[in-house]
Structure 1
Amino acid sequence: MMRRIASATFLGVLIAGSSLYVANGAAWQKAITGWLGTSAETTLAAETWPICTSMTELGSESDWAQLDPDFAAGKRALAAENWDEAIRALSLAVLRDPFNADIQNYIGYAHYRLRQLGPAMGHYQQALTFNPRHRGARTHLGELFLALGEPRKAQDQLAALKEICLISCDEIAYLEHAIDTGTWRPALPE
Protein backbone atom coordinates (compact mmCIF):
# COMPACT_ATOMS: atom_id res chain seq x y z
CA MET A 1 0.00 0.00 0.00
CA MET A 2 2.79 2.43 0.93
CA ARG A 3 4.63 1.62 -2.30
CA ARG A 4 1.55 2.50 -4.33
CA ILE A 5 1.16 5.81 -2.52
CA ALA A 6 4.86 6.63 -2.99
CA SER A 7 4.71 5.61 -6.66
CA ALA A 8 1.57 7.69 -7.25
CA THR A 9 3.18 10.70 -5.53
CA PHE A 10 6.35 10.35 -7.58
CA LEU A 11 4.38 9.98 -10.80
CA GLY A 12 2.30 13.06 -9.92
CA VAL A 13 5.42 15.14 -9.31
CA LEU A 14 6.93 13.90 -12.56
CA ILE A 15 3.81 14.78 -14.56
CA ALA A 16 3.48 18.18 -12.90
CA GLY A 17 7.13 18.94 -13.56
CA SER A 18 6.93 17.97 -17.20
CA SER A 19 3.75 20.04 -17.63
CA LEU A 20 5.50 23.07 -16.16
CA TYR A 21 8.48 22.49 -18.40
CA VAL A 22 6.33 22.33 -21.53
CA ALA A 23 4.29 25.35 -20.49
CA ASN A 24 7.25 27.55 -19.63
CA GLY A 25 10.52 25.87 -20.67
CA ALA A 26 12.92 28.80 -20.19
CA ALA A 27 11.70 29.68 -16.69
CA TRP A 28 11.77 26.02 -15.66
CA GLN A 29 15.34 25.63 -16.96
CA LYS A 30 16.43 28.73 -15.00
CA ALA A 31 14.79 27.37 -11.84
CA ILE A 32 16.50 23.98 -12.22
CA THR A 33 19.93 25.44 -13.02
CA GLY A 34 19.60 27.85 -10.09
CA TRP A 35 18.62 25.01 -7.79
CA LEU A 36 21.57 22.89 -8.97
CA GLY A 37 23.95 25.81 -8.67
CA THR A 38 24.89 25.86 -12.36
CA SER A 39 24.20 28.32 -15.09
CA ALA A 40 22.94 27.61 -18.57
CA GLU A 41 25.88 29.57 -20.00
CA THR A 42 28.50 27.24 -18.52
CA THR A 43 26.95 23.92 -19.48
CA LEU A 44 28.06 22.27 -22.70
CA ALA A 45 25.56 20.46 -24.86
CA ALA A 46 26.38 16.79 -25.24
CA GLU A 47 26.25 17.20 -29.03
CA THR A 48 29.34 19.42 -28.91
CA TRP A 49 31.51 16.72 -27.32
CA PRO A 50 33.63 14.75 -29.78
CA ILE A 51 32.97 11.01 -29.94
CA CYS A 52 36.59 10.38 -30.80
CA THR A 53 39.42 12.27 -32.37
CA SER A 54 41.85 10.98 -34.90
CA MET A 55 45.60 11.23 -34.73
CA THR A 56 45.51 13.64 -37.70
CA GLU A 57 44.02 16.29 -35.38
CA LEU A 58 46.95 16.23 -32.97
CA GLY A 59 48.16 19.74 -33.63
CA SER A 60 44.70 21.32 -33.64
CA GLU A 61 43.14 22.85 -30.54
CA SER A 62 39.47 22.02 -30.32
CA ASP A 63 37.21 23.76 -27.80
CA TRP A 64 37.02 20.52 -25.84
CA ALA A 65 40.80 20.18 -25.55
CA GLN A 66 41.04 23.72 -24.16
CA LEU A 67 38.92 22.69 -21.16
CA ASP A 68 41.79 20.57 -19.82
CA PRO A 69 45.25 22.12 -20.15
CA ASP A 70 47.02 18.78 -19.55
CA PHE A 71 45.03 17.11 -22.34
CA ALA A 72 45.92 19.97 -24.69
CA ALA A 73 49.59 19.83 -23.61
CA GLY A 74 49.63 16.07 -24.20
CA LYS A 75 48.23 16.48 -27.71
CA ARG A 76 50.81 19.17 -28.48
CA ALA A 77 53.57 16.88 -27.18
CA LEU A 78 52.30 14.07 -29.42
CA ALA A 79 52.31 16.40 -32.43
CA ALA A 80 55.91 17.36 -31.57
CA GLU A 81 56.79 13.65 -31.12
CA ASN A 82 57.83 14.27 -27.52
CA TRP A 83 56.55 10.91 -26.26
CA ASP A 84 57.70 11.16 -22.63
CA GLU A 85 56.13 14.60 -22.19
CA ALA A 86 52.92 13.36 -23.85
CA ILE A 87 52.69 10.48 -21.37
CA ARG A 88 53.35 12.83 -18.45
CA ALA A 89 50.73 15.40 -19.47
CA LEU A 90 48.10 12.87 -20.51
CA SER A 91 48.61 10.92 -17.28
CA LEU A 92 47.63 14.07 -15.41
CA ALA A 93 44.60 14.55 -17.65
CA VAL A 94 43.46 10.97 -17.06
CA LEU A 95 43.33 11.66 -13.32
CA ARG A 96 40.51 14.13 -13.98
CA ASP A 97 38.84 12.09 -16.72
CA PRO A 98 39.64 8.42 -16.05
CA PHE A 99 37.09 7.00 -18.50
CA ASN A 100 38.20 8.98 -21.56
CA ALA A 101 38.99 6.62 -24.43
CA ASP A 102 40.85 9.31 -26.38
CA ILE A 103 43.29 9.93 -23.54
CA GLN A 104 43.92 6.20 -23.11
CA ASN A 105 44.50 5.84 -26.86
CA TYR A 106 46.95 8.75 -26.92
CA ILE A 107 48.89 7.42 -23.92
CA GLY A 108 49.04 4.01 -25.62
CA TYR A 109 50.30 5.59 -28.82
CA ALA A 110 53.09 7.42 -26.97
CA HIS A 111 54.13 4.18 -25.25
CA TYR A 112 54.08 2.41 -28.62
CA ARG A 113 56.33 5.04 -30.15
CA LEU A 114 58.73 4.53 -27.23
CA ARG A 115 58.59 0.80 -28.04
CA GLN A 116 56.97 0.04 -24.69
CA LEU A 117 54.58 -2.51 -26.16
CA GLY A 118 53.11 -3.88 -22.92
CA PRO A 119 51.88 -0.51 -21.62
CA ALA A 120 50.73 0.44 -25.13
CA MET A 121 48.60 -2.72 -25.35
CA GLY A 122 47.08 -2.02 -21.94
CA HIS A 123 46.09 1.54 -22.82
CA TYR A 124 44.63 0.56 -26.20
CA GLN A 125 42.57 -2.17 -24.56
CA GLN A 126 41.45 0.27 -21.86
CA ALA A 127 40.35 2.73 -24.56
CA LEU A 128 38.33 -0.02 -26.24
CA THR A 129 36.76 -0.95 -22.90
CA PHE A 130 35.51 2.63 -22.59
CA ASN A 131 34.54 2.94 -26.26
CA PRO A 132 34.49 -0.28 -28.35
CA ARG A 133 33.90 1.84 -31.47
CA HIS A 134 37.06 3.95 -31.03
CA ARG A 135 38.61 3.90 -34.49
CA GLY A 136 42.03 5.19 -33.43
CA ALA A 137 42.46 2.57 -30.73
CA ARG A 138 41.37 -0.20 -33.13
CA THR A 139 43.87 1.00 -35.74
CA HIS A 140 46.72 1.34 -33.27
CA LEU A 141 45.97 -2.04 -31.71
CA GLY A 142 46.04 -3.62 -35.17
CA GLU A 143 49.35 -1.91 -35.80
CA LEU A 144 50.68 -3.24 -32.50
CA PHE A 145 49.60 -6.78 -33.41
CA LEU A 146 51.53 -6.46 -36.68
CA ALA A 147 54.60 -5.36 -34.72
CA LEU A 148 54.19 -8.42 -32.50
CA GLY A 149 53.99 -10.70 -35.55
CA GLU A 150 50.29 -11.49 -35.10
CA PRO A 151 48.69 -10.52 -38.43
CA ARG A 152 45.51 -12.53 -37.69
CA LYS A 153 44.76 -10.33 -34.70
CA ALA A 154 45.46 -7.26 -36.83
CA GLN A 155 42.91 -8.62 -39.33
CA ASP A 156 40.41 -8.90 -36.46
CA GLN A 157 40.90 -5.20 -35.70
CA LEU A 158 40.45 -4.41 -39.40
CA ALA A 159 37.19 -6.38 -39.43
CA ALA A 160 36.00 -4.45 -36.38
CA LEU A 161 36.87 -1.17 -38.13
CA LYS A 162 34.84 -2.22 -41.16
CA GLU A 163 31.83 -2.75 -38.91
CA ILE A 164 32.34 0.64 -37.27
CA CYS A 165 32.91 2.69 -40.43
CA LEU A 166 29.86 2.25 -42.61
CA ILE A 167 31.70 4.01 -45.40
CA SER A 168 35.42 3.80 -45.96
CA CYS A 169 37.44 5.75 -43.42
CA ASP A 170 41.13 6.66 -43.15
CA GLU A 171 41.69 4.11 -40.39
CA ILE A 172 40.54 1.23 -42.62
CA ALA A 173 42.75 2.38 -45.49
CA TYR A 174 45.78 2.75 -43.22
CA LEU A 175 45.42 -0.62 -41.49
CA GLU A 176 44.69 -2.42 -44.79
CA HIS A 177 47.85 -0.90 -46.29
CA ALA A 178 49.90 -1.83 -43.22
CA ILE A 179 48.63 -5.42 -43.33
CA ASP A 180 49.11 -5.77 -47.10
CA THR A 181 52.61 -4.31 -47.21
CA GLY A 182 53.81 -5.40 -43.79
CA THR A 183 54.84 -1.82 -43.06
CA TRP A 184 53.70 0.21 -40.10
CA ARG A 185 55.08 2.95 -37.98
CA PRO A 186 57.47 2.89 -36.24
CA ALA A 187 59.98 0.29 -37.24
CA LEU A 188 60.63 -1.75 -34.14
CA PRO A 189 64.11 -2.84 -33.18
CA GLU A 190 65.14 -6.35 -34.24
Structure 2
Amino acid sequence: MKTFLFFLSILLAFHLSTGVTFGNPDSSGYDSSDDSKPVNVDFQNGLNAAKNGNYKLAVKHLKRAAKSSPNNPDVYNMLGYSHRKLDLLDEAFIYYQKALKLNPRHQGANEYIGELYLRTNNLKKAEEHLEVLDDVCLFGCDEYDDLKDSIEKYKKSRE
Protein backbone atom coordinates (compact mmCIF):
# COMPACT_ATOMS: atom_id res chain seq x y z
CA MET A 1 0.00 0.00 0.00
CA LYS A 2 2.87 2.38 0.78
CA THR A 3 4.30 1.77 -2.69
CA PHE A 4 0.96 2.57 -4.30
CA LEU A 5 0.61 5.80 -2.31
CA PHE A 6 4.18 6.75 -3.19
CA PHE A 7 3.54 6.35 -6.92
CA LEU A 8 0.22 8.13 -6.62
CA SER A 9 1.92 11.09 -4.93
CA ILE A 10 4.59 11.16 -7.67
CA LEU A 11 1.89 11.17 -10.35
CA LEU A 12 -0.03 13.93 -8.58
CA ALA A 13 3.13 16.02 -8.21
CA PHE A 14 3.87 15.57 -11.92
CA HIS A 15 0.33 16.54 -12.83
CA LEU A 16 0.42 19.68 -10.72
CA SER A 17 3.87 20.76 -11.86
CA THR A 18 3.30 20.33 -15.60
CA GLY A 19 -0.32 21.31 -15.97
CA VAL A 20 -0.99 18.12 -17.93
CA THR A 21 -4.66 17.30 -17.96
CA PHE A 22 -6.08 13.84 -17.59
CA GLY A 23 -8.99 14.45 -19.89
CA ASN A 24 -11.02 17.38 -21.04
CA PRO A 25 -14.77 17.01 -21.40
CA ASP A 26 -14.96 19.96 -23.78
CA SER A 27 -13.79 18.79 -27.15
CA SER A 28 -12.97 22.34 -28.22
CA GLY A 29 -10.01 22.25 -25.87
CA TYR A 30 -11.31 25.38 -24.16
CA ASP A 31 -10.82 25.29 -20.40
CA SER A 32 -13.92 26.99 -19.06
CA SER A 33 -13.06 25.99 -15.49
CA ASP A 34 -10.10 28.38 -15.31
CA ASP A 35 -11.60 31.33 -13.49
CA SER A 36 -8.28 33.20 -13.52
CA LYS A 37 -8.72 34.02 -17.21
CA PRO A 38 -10.91 37.03 -17.91
CA VAL A 39 -13.93 36.15 -20.00
CA ASN A 40 -13.49 37.41 -23.54
CA VAL A 41 -17.01 38.25 -24.68
CA ASP A 42 -16.09 37.93 -28.35
CA PHE A 43 -14.59 34.49 -27.73
CA GLN A 44 -17.65 33.36 -25.80
CA ASN A 45 -19.98 34.68 -28.53
CA GLY A 46 -17.87 32.94 -31.18
CA LEU A 47 -17.90 29.70 -29.23
CA ASN A 48 -21.69 29.88 -28.85
CA ALA A 49 -22.16 30.66 -32.56
CA ALA A 50 -19.95 27.70 -33.53
CA LYS A 51 -21.82 25.36 -31.18
CA ASN A 52 -25.05 26.49 -32.87
CA GLY A 53 -23.63 25.84 -36.35
CA ASN A 54 -23.38 29.52 -37.34
CA TYR A 55 -19.74 29.37 -38.41
CA LYS A 56 -19.68 32.67 -40.33
CA LEU A 57 -20.84 34.53 -37.25
CA ALA A 58 -18.39 32.52 -35.15
CA VAL A 59 -15.50 33.65 -37.38
CA LYS A 60 -16.58 37.28 -37.04
CA HIS A 61 -16.55 37.11 -33.23
CA LEU A 62 -13.43 34.96 -33.03
CA LYS A 63 -11.39 37.30 -35.24
CA ARG A 64 -12.23 40.12 -32.83
CA ALA A 65 -11.28 37.86 -29.93
CA ALA A 66 -7.93 37.15 -31.61
CA LYS A 67 -7.20 40.88 -31.72
CA SER A 68 -7.84 41.32 -28.01
CA SER A 69 -6.33 37.94 -26.98
CA PRO A 70 -3.59 37.25 -29.54
CA ASN A 71 -1.86 34.64 -27.37
CA ASN A 72 -4.91 32.50 -26.65
CA PRO A 73 -4.65 29.14 -28.46
CA ASP A 74 -8.35 28.43 -27.77
CA VAL A 75 -9.31 31.36 -30.01
CA TYR A 76 -7.19 30.08 -32.91
CA ASN A 77 -8.40 26.52 -32.39
CA MET A 78 -12.01 27.66 -32.71
CA LEU A 79 -11.14 29.82 -35.72
CA GLY A 80 -9.64 26.71 -37.33
CA TYR A 81 -12.69 24.67 -36.42
CA SER A 82 -15.11 27.25 -37.83
CA HIS A 83 -13.13 27.60 -41.07
CA ARG A 84 -12.98 23.81 -41.42
CA LYS A 85 -16.75 23.62 -41.03
CA LEU A 86 -17.05 26.29 -43.75
CA ASP A 87 -14.82 24.13 -46.01
CA LEU A 88 -12.11 26.81 -45.97
CA LEU A 89 -9.40 24.24 -45.39
CA ASP A 90 -6.31 26.37 -46.07
CA GLU A 91 -7.48 28.96 -43.55
CA ALA A 92 -8.32 26.21 -41.06
CA PHE A 93 -4.76 24.88 -41.30
CA ILE A 94 -3.35 28.36 -40.64
CA TYR A 95 -5.42 28.83 -37.48
CA TYR A 96 -4.76 25.34 -36.11
CA GLN A 97 -1.05 25.89 -36.67
CA LYS A 98 -1.23 29.19 -34.76
CA ALA A 99 -2.97 27.43 -31.87
CA LEU A 100 -0.33 24.69 -31.86
CA LYS A 101 2.51 27.20 -32.05
CA LEU A 102 1.15 28.78 -28.86
CA ASN A 103 0.49 25.41 -27.22
CA PRO A 104 1.83 22.31 -29.02
CA ARG A 105 -0.03 20.09 -26.52
CA HIS A 106 -3.44 21.71 -27.07
CA GLN A 107 -5.87 18.83 -27.07
CA GLY A 108 -8.59 20.38 -29.23
CA ALA A 109 -6.20 21.72 -31.87
CA ASN A 110 -4.39 18.38 -32.13
CA GLU A 111 -7.66 16.54 -32.59
CA TYR A 112 -9.11 18.97 -35.11
CA ILE A 113 -5.98 19.36 -37.24
CA GLY A 114 -5.74 15.56 -37.28
CA GLU A 115 -9.29 15.39 -38.62
CA LEU A 116 -8.42 18.05 -41.17
CA TYR A 117 -5.41 16.03 -42.32
CA LEU A 118 -7.75 13.08 -42.88
CA ARG A 119 -9.96 15.29 -45.07
CA THR A 120 -6.90 16.08 -47.17
CA ASN A 121 -5.90 12.38 -47.29
CA ASN A 122 -2.80 12.79 -45.13
CA LEU A 123 -3.11 9.82 -42.79
CA LYS A 124 0.51 10.06 -41.65
CA LYS A 125 0.08 13.60 -40.29
CA ALA A 126 -3.22 12.68 -38.62
CA GLU A 127 -1.48 9.79 -36.87
CA GLU A 128 1.30 12.15 -35.72
CA HIS A 129 -1.30 14.28 -33.95
CA LEU A 130 -2.87 11.16 -32.46
CA GLU A 131 0.57 10.36 -31.00
CA VAL A 132 0.72 13.83 -29.44
CA LEU A 133 -2.70 13.28 -27.87
CA ASP A 134 -1.60 9.87 -26.62
CA ASP A 135 1.27 11.60 -24.84
CA VAL A 136 -0.81 14.51 -23.52
CA CYS A 137 -3.78 12.46 -22.36
CA LEU A 138 -2.06 10.14 -19.93
CA PHE A 139 -5.25 8.30 -19.02
CA GLY A 140 -7.20 9.01 -22.18
CA CYS A 141 -9.37 11.92 -23.25
CA ASP A 142 -12.25 12.62 -25.60
CA GLU A 143 -9.97 14.28 -28.17
CA TYR A 144 -7.77 11.18 -28.39
CA ASP A 145 -10.77 8.86 -28.64
CA ASP A 146 -12.45 11.02 -31.30
CA LEU A 147 -9.35 11.28 -33.50
CA LYS A 148 -8.60 7.57 -33.10
CA ASP A 149 -12.17 6.74 -34.19
CA SER A 150 -11.87 9.09 -37.18
CA ILE A 151 -8.60 7.45 -38.23
CA GLU A 152 -10.12 3.97 -37.95
CA LYS A 153 -13.13 5.03 -40.06
CA TYR A 154 -10.78 6.63 -42.60
CA LYS A 155 -8.75 3.43 -42.88
CA LYS A 156 -11.88 1.28 -43.30
CA SER A 157 -13.16 3.58 -46.05
CA ARG A 158 -9.89 3.04 -47.94
CA GLU A 159 -10.05 -0.78 -47.88
Work out whether the TM-score is over 0.5.
Answer: yes
Aligned to 1:158: 130
Q: Secondary structure at the match of 2:45?
A: helix
Structure showing greater Rg: 1
The answer on 1:113 being equivalent to 2:90 is no
The 8 Å contact of residues 55 and 83 in structure 2, kept in 1 or not, is answered as yes
- Per-residue CA distance 1:6-38 (angstroms, 9 max, x = gap): xxxxxxxxxxxxxxxxxxxxxxxxxxxxxxxxx
The structure-2 alpha-carbon separation of the partners of 1:56 and 1:68, relative to structure 1 and needing over 3 Å to count, comes to closer
Aligned to 2:6: none
Higher relative contact order (CA 8 A, sep 6+): 2
The answer on 1:125 being equivalent to 2:97 is yes
Q: Aligned pairs, how many?
A: 132
The answer on 1:70 being equivalent to 2:42 is yes
Which consecutive unaligned segments of at least 5 residues does structure 2 have? 1-20
Structure 1 length-normalised TM? 0.63
* Cα distance between partner residues in 1 of 2:48 and 2:37: 10
The 8 Å contact of residues 146 and 182 in structure 1, kept in 2 or not, is answered as yes
* Cα distance between partner residues in 2 of 1:61 and 1:70: 18
How large is the RMSD of aligned CA atoms in angstroms?
Answer: 2.5
The structure-2 alpha-carbon separation of the partners of 1:127 and 1:56, relative to structure 1 and needing over 3 Å to count, comes to closer
Which consecutive unaligned segments of at least 5 residues does structure 1 have? 1-50, 184-190
Aligned to 1:94: 66
State the 1:63 CA deviation: 5.3
Structure 2 length-normalised TM? 0.75
Tell me the amino acid that sits aligned with residue 77 of structure 2: N
Q: Which runs of 4+ in 1 moved over 6 A?
A: none
Q: Percent identity?
A: 34
The structure-2 alpha-carbon separation of the partners of 1:164 and 1:61, relative to structure 1 and needing over 3 Å to count, comes to closer
Q: Secondary structure at the match of 2:151?
A: helix
